Amino acid sequence: MTEHAHSAAGHWIDGKVVPAGTAETITVLNPADGGVVAEVPAGTPADVDRAVAAARAALPGWAATVPAERAAVVRRIGDGLRARTEEIAAAVTAEMGAPLTLSRTAQVGFPIAVVESFAGLATEYDWTEEVGNSLIVREPIGVVGAITPWNFPLQQIVSKLAPALIAGNTMVFKPSEVAPLTARILAEVTAEAGLPAGVFNVVYGTGEVVGEAIAAHPDIDMISFTGSTRAGRRIAAVAAATVKRVALELGGKGANLILDDADLPTAVETGLRMVFINGGQVCGAWPRMLVPAARQEEVVQLALAAAAQYTVGDPGDEATRIGPMASEAHREKVNGYIERGIADGATLVLGGPGRPEGLEKGAYVRPTIFADVDPDSVIAQEEIFGPVLTIIPYADEDEAVEIANSTMYGLTSGVFGEPEHALAVAKRLRAGQVDVNGGHWNPLAPFGGYKQSGNGREFGRHGLEEFLETKAIQR
């Protein structure tokens, strides 16, 4: 294996680096320039077997610890992540192109907030309750298989690991092969925090090999997967053979429904930020901006003014707000959607196909805004996962709600308007999370989707309960 600064010489199994069962490796590329950042092992089903055996052996001891003790370890994991903020941020920026400032604040800051929220919840949660003559007991589900995407590589795994550990489970984790670097840092942090060997294990590899081996494994009791809806369907199908629990956080096509009584500048500026942040590579983004037809031109002008603040460039530059897409393959996919929008007759008001001027090298796309978008068109229905805003005019409120609910997804949405009016509309939306007038993120509130955006919830009490079994003891 060629040595690089972030190369992983082996998997993390039973509390230590374990040589891979094959010499085959996966090369991690920097999407800003195409350079090699690292190499990690291309795991095999045999590697998964070793990790599962370690997790199964560690389960009785970890499950027997009291919640307060588990919470203390989780809290120390948060402290360890905070201490390595700069290292983690640099790794995320190198592997998937998030601007460095965003890597510090969101890619590292959000996971720390999640860890702290679950550590606090552990001592408040009712682990048992009396119902008539029954004692209801909540217990660890067992060995959890976790599979995560590349867009928020640390956030996605911490959102699973923290509640799984608090619940008393052990874990086998496969990071995305596109962005695997933070997995080793997290593993080291867990060991330094006093997590017993075997409780957290990392196996690198592709979804087709390692992901499927985890989903199918008879000694894994639960799968927690975040990724595309297409991949989620496959995970569910493979896992069905062993009837294990499957929690899926999948794609989204959020709507930002702007009512006629909204504060228009705030609604547009906030909505654009929810499309352009992390280069639009956010499942909870709001790529559809639904606006009163009579005010579409006003909205377009506000969107153009707001978009001017989003500089595209080197993600290592502190001034950059949009970096490259996470890979060249993803750049081509996003660019194809932009071309499709033009071909289907949407009005291009900003951006368009191709790389931005001066950025001929790297996985860059031009931040793009379309107006007069048909709500049934491809760019309004399919998840683009890039910095592409589609402005969709509506005739009245009922039509707006119908449009907002018209995709196969139902993950997130936003509503802007007079507070009580906006709240009433929010209740009509078929989405797992709706922000009213830009409501702040709450790590104790459940997050998850309706329809083909998945099942199950992350964060807070609801997220903890995903990793628990419920036993009734009659007396």
Query: Which of 212, 249, 269, 383 is the catalytic position?
Result: 249
Distances (CA, A) of 394 to 294, 398, 401, 436, 475: 9, 9, 9, 19, 59
Q: Which of 82, 68, 65 is nearest to 196 (CA)?
A: 65
458 is catalytic: no
| Alpha carbons 370 and 346: distance in angstroms, whole number | 6
Query: Which of 283, 383, 458, 466 is the catalytic position?
Result: 283
283 is catalytic: yes
| Alpha carbons 377 and 358: distance in angstroms, whole number | 31
CB count within 10 Å of CB 151 equals 24
| Alpha carbons 7 and 23: distance in angstroms, whole number | 14
| Alpha carbons 124 and 119: distance in angstroms, whole number | 10
| Alpha carbons 70 and 50: distance in angstroms, whole number | 24
Distances (CA, A) of 233 to 76, 230, 310: 35, 5, 35
448, 249 contact by CB (below 8 A): yes
| Alpha carbons 400 and 417: distance in angstroms, whole number | 13
Tokens standing for residue 240: 């069905």
> What positions carry a catalytic annotation?
249, 283
